Amino acid sequence: MATILSARVEFENNRRKERQKQGIWAATKKGKYQGRKTVINKALIQKVKHLKETKNLSVVDISKLTGVSSPTIYKVLKEHLGYVSNRLVKLE
């Protein structure tokens, strides 16, 4: 009984996901769906760069000072400032 119910739930979930994808695709095509806005901007990149390189603060401290999550700080360091994520060493 549980197997049948589980299969039905999975089927409905897959149908819902497919309809959602179709809706997002149609809205994107019309220019209505933009997605989530990013919090990363030039000011944040400069602030993170200053706090990391000048004051040598940790990611957690930078996160608290800027009000942005730690994963976002890691993303800025890795993608915009050239740091290697596992050691936070800057590649020259």
User: What residue segments make up the domains of the chain, in order of their start?
Assistant: 1-34, 42-90
Q: What CA–CA distance (Å, rounded) separates 70 from 60?
A: 6
Q: What is the pLDDT of residues 60-76, one digit of tens each?
A: 999 999 999 999 999 99
Q: What is the pLDDT of residues 23-53, one digit of tens each?
A: 999 998 998 888 888 999 999 999 999 999 9
Please determine, for residue 81, whether its predicted confidence score (pLDDT) is greater than 70. Answer: yes
pTM of the model: 0.64
